[in-house]
Amino acid sequence: MAKQAKNAISPTRKEDFPEWYQQVVKEADLAENSETRGCMVIKPWGYALWENIQQQLDQYFKATGHQNAYFPLLIPLKYFEKEAQCAEGFATECAVVTHHRLEATKNDDGTTTMEPAGELAEPYIIRPTSETIIGAAFSRWTESYRDLPLLINQWANVMRWEMRTRLFLRTAEFLWQEGHTAHETKKEALEEAQQMHEIYEKFVTEHLAIPVIPGEKSEAERFPGAEQTFTIEAMVQDKKAVQAGTSHFLGQNFSKAQDISFTGRDNTIQHAWTTSWGVSTRLIGTLIMAHSDDDGLIAPPRIASQQIIIVPVTPKEETRDAVITACQDLAKELRELRFHGELLRVHVDKRDLNGGTKKWEWVKKGAPIRIEIGPRDLESGKVCLQRRDQAVTEKAFITQEEFLSSVLGTMQEIQDELLRRATELRDGNMQDCTDLDTFHKHWKSEEQPGWLVTPWAGDMEQEEQLSKEHKISIRCLPKGMQDGNEAPCILTGKPTKARAIWGRSY
């Protein structure tokens, strides 16, 4: 067996968390930086995670009446000029297309230089978000209250010209879904934004095994142009926060700018009430940092690229065919089982590599269950079972019949255990704070501090002052904690029932 270091990933989480994260992405073969500045190549093992997220989340969207559509990548500049708040919010991140062709010039040394030519009459923005161009379509599609609601979702890529990038967490181009809806009344639009907020909370908790705190963003953190932004906030293992998904109640701001109007029930012209909501490939980065260990990725079974890896152990050529046949037969039986309504994803690793190399590859890739079958296992009718949520050295020998009858329960145990660990981490690193001196001392700690929950009645300027001083932000005004016991605001001393969660974030 190939020799293996104490941990498969170096440095460890404790030694250098940011570099550990990069190494997990690399060793799990999830993604890599590309030649295009700030953009990534998502490799098959990583893209399979996104496909599973996409397919499972899409079912929630369609079950609530939403339909998928697609809108142009390029947005006319004039659309952003109509919506000043949205334009200002993304102005520094926009990539702009100004020409429509290239002209070639032959150089004396035999090389060719390509120069942009054919300047466009009007520049186009590569979409940083699609409110403006989808709003233009909604304007064309809406004449009467009978045309509403419009419930549209788009799976797409967007571009935000980030200066500091990190694979999955923050890249110039990333994949996401963006839902956009238009409604007859304010009540319907607000209910829509809240419904999608609840769907994100359910999905991330139950499918990704990441506990999140749902709440509303403060004014300073609100989406540009929104009246209210609802968020789900996750804590990862270095105690920083990740905004895992947002849902925005946009009021009539965008509909008035883009004339999404209709003839109402009283025969008057009215403007629609709109929402937008989205999650992105950032969820994969959140998953990595929430669950993985110093041996690599740990993927929750519900969204794992492959849920079960079967490794044939073939030390002798004469037994190879029999062992591989047994592995394939077991895989066939497993693929007929359903976990949460989906057929099991099972892979038989038949590559001509030694067992140690295969083992550590699948450990680093985070496959929830690994099964080994060798000649002796064939004779005894047993399999060697190893779970990724347990120590790498831990294994169990059980009969194939026992494995087949218990595998779904085992996968749910792994799913539940990952959620339990992440919840324990978060709850153990989030504390109440009612004293301003304690608040200041907390953020000056040498170690990465956890979150603080404080009474809050400050304004946007006061929030930004505290945020700048300690490099923190209000992650959310948590749902269910805005009407509790009255207490003095941590900063102003004003009596308030509201609470704010503060933390450092990605």
CATH number of the domain at 475, please: 3.30.110.30
Answer yes or no: is 389 within a domain.
yes
Look at residue 1 in the predicted model and tell me its pLDDT.
41
CATH number at residue 383: 3.40.50.800
Three-state secondary structure call for residue 488:
strand
Predicted pLDDT at 164: 84
pLDDT band at 3 (very low <50, low <70, confident <90, very high): very low
Q: In this structure, are 249 and 186 located in the same domain?
A: yes
- Domain membership of residue 225 (yes or no) is yes
Kindly report, residue by residue over 420-458, the tens digit of the pLDDT. 999 999 999 999 999 999 999 999 987 889 999 999 999
The whole-number pLDDT of residue 86 equals 64
One domain for residues 388 and 259: no
Distance CA 148, CA 142 (A): 7
Q: What is the mean pLDDT of residues 294-301?
A: 98
pTM flag (> 0.75)? yes
Q: Mean pLDDT, to the nearest integer, of 121-128?
A: 96
Q: Helix, strand, coil proportions of the chain in percent (round to 5)?
A: 35, 30, 35
In this predicted structure, which of 160-164, 332-336, 477-481, 495-499 has the lowest mean pLDDT? 160-164
pLDDT over threshold 70, residue 111: yes
Reduce the DSSP state of residue 420 to 3 states and report it. Answer: helix
Q: Is residue 87 scored above 70 in pLDDT?
A: no
85 has pLDDT over 70 = no
Question: Which amino acid is it at 327?
Answer: C
Domain ranges, residue 464: 430-503
Neighbouring residues of 429: CB distance < 8 A, sequence distance ≥ 6: 235, 239, 450, 451
Residue 112 lies in a domain: no
Same domain, 143 and 252: yes
Q: Is the pLDDT score of 397 beyond 80?
A: yes
Q: What is the CATH number of the domain that holds 201?
A: 3.30.930.10
Same-domain check for residues 326 and 253: no
The count of structural domains within the chain is 3
pLDDT tens, 305-360?
Answer: 999 999 999 988 888 999 999 999 999 999 999 999 999 999 999 998 988 999 99
> pLDDT tier at 91 (50, 70, 90 boundaries)?
confident
pLDDT of residue 2: 46
| 3-state class (DSSP) for residue 3 | coil
- Does residue 420 sit within a domain? no
Q: Indicate whether 441 and 393 sit together in one domain.
A: no
Residues 264, 351 share a domain: no
Residue 270 neighbours by CB distance under 10 Å: 17
